[in-house]
Amino acid sequence: MTSLKLLVALGALTTASHALAWDYVLLDTDKAVQGLHLTSEQLGIKTERPFSVTLRTLHGGRQEGVSIIDIDNGLMKLSVVPTRGMNVLQASVGEVRLGWDSPVKEVVNPAFIELSGRGGLGWLEGFNELVTRCGYEWVGHPGIDNGELLTLHGRAANTPASKVTLHIDEKPPYAIRLRGELKEQAFKKVDFSVGTELVTEPGSSSFTLNDRLTNNGDYPKEYQALYHSNFSTPFLEQGAKFAAPVKQVSPFNDKAKGDLADWQTYRGPTRDYDEAVYNVVPYADATGQTLAVLHNKAGSLGVSLGFNTQQLPVFSLWKNTDTQGQGYVTGLEPGTSFSYNRRYQRPLNLVPTIGAKEQRLFQIRYSVLADKAAVDQALSRVSQIQAGRETEVRATPLVDLAQE
């Protein structure tokens, strides 16, 4: 306890002059991984919702050496994986879980994943998170672009954080801020860094991601980002629905064309259904803010994603309503781009460029809608943003994948 008190005191002293927060370095390139269990009580914080942060290391199988950071804000519990791109592994509010049951049961260390394996689909061998960062040099299906194999959804999800810090505000509401730094670097190719931040508050049923992409190089570079946000039961079920203010929707491929009339409604687990994906261009309010909602059939439970279309202008809806064992899941995916290979997205103007030393910010707020009143309020917000504007339902895919 003495060493903990000293750590707290030093943290307060070093930050009081500029941040009014308790600061801790949890992981760094020159710092060995050590266990941590920090509570609001140890910090002397008296709150109706006591909170804690725990750092632990997994062992055995392909998850050997993986670091997990558990945040319990007194209402919502979150698990973040620094070893896997600061991805959010899972979250829960009471008995309500945000996440899904992937056939991948372990939290796989990227050291055991070959991204170029399975024809560029090696990424799938570790895919089981609630929120998976995709990018940032590229996103989308594997394929050749400019003579180079681009593997599925980029490298971010399999990039261990170089540094992870914890910040807890010294004043109410005592926001908990978990920050990480990802580096995507290759000689003559790319010099990106991504400062990730997850923020939640004691007693909150929401968390926010604030990510900042920096091009550290001396030349402009293409970039792409997509936030693969994955949900299953209790939100996903027969008759569950997706809602958003939609400007345009189109099927990703010919497979999705068959269900286009019911693209916002879900099936129960269906053998051999596989998946259907829809490209969505959302409307936003005057400041660029928009909202996507998934709710159960009764409209009594849901989850929402709030984001800004000036940062993430398009959205992919992934409906993987196959069997439970295969992975019964839907993906709500705001992004700079759809999930086509990068070479197909340049003609769609969905491969943006970031200048030398420039930065781009991506912010998403995830909220549990715990009852019908909360779901209705979110759906009302969707209607307000739509504001009576028409939705263009495009019958054919934006890209002719028969070219492949």
Residue 316 is predicted with a pLDDT of: 98
Cβ–Cβ under 8 Å, residues 79 and 68: yes
Residue 404 is predicted with a pLDDT of: 53
Q: Kindly report, residue by residue over 75-97, the tens digit of the pLDDT.
A: 999 999 999 999 999 999 999 99
Q: Where are the alpha helices (DSSP H) in 258-319?
A: none
- On the CB side of 291, CA atoms within 13 Å amount to 20
Domain segments of the chain: what residues? 2-403
**pLDDT score of 1 more than 60:** no
Q: Kindly report, residue by residue over 193-226, the tens digit of the pLDDT.
A: 999 999 999 999 999 999 999 999 999 999 999 9
Q: Is 170 exposed, middle or buried (0-12, 13-18, 19+ CB in 10 A)?
A: middle
Predicted TM-score of the model (pTM): 0.94
**pLDDT score of 103 more than 50:** yes
Mean pLDDT over all residues of the chain? 94
Q: Kindly report, residue by residue over 352-375, the tens digit of the pLDDT.
A: 999 999 999 999 999 999 999 999
**pLDDT score of 14 more than 90:** no
**pLDDT score of 171 more than 70:** yes
Least confident of 29-38, 67-76, 127-136: 29-38
Q: In the predicted model, what is the mean pLDDT of residues 271-281?
A: 97
**pLDDT score of 11 more than 50:** no
What is the DSSP secondary structure assignment for residue 31, as one 8-state letter?
Answer: B
Cβ–Cβ under 8 Å, residues 118 and 77: no
Q: Kindly report, residue by residue over 22-58, the tens digit of the pLDDT.
A: 999 999 988 777 789 999 999 999 989 999 999 999 9
Sign of CA dihedral 106, 107, 113, 118: positive
Residue 8 is predicted with a pLDDT of: 43
Cβ–Cβ under 8 Å, residues 333 and 58: no
DSSP bridge pairs for 27: 164
Q: Kindly report the CA angle at 26 between 25 and 29, in degrees rounded to 5? A: 85
Task: Identify the CATH number of the domain defined by range 2-403.
Answer: 2.70.98.10
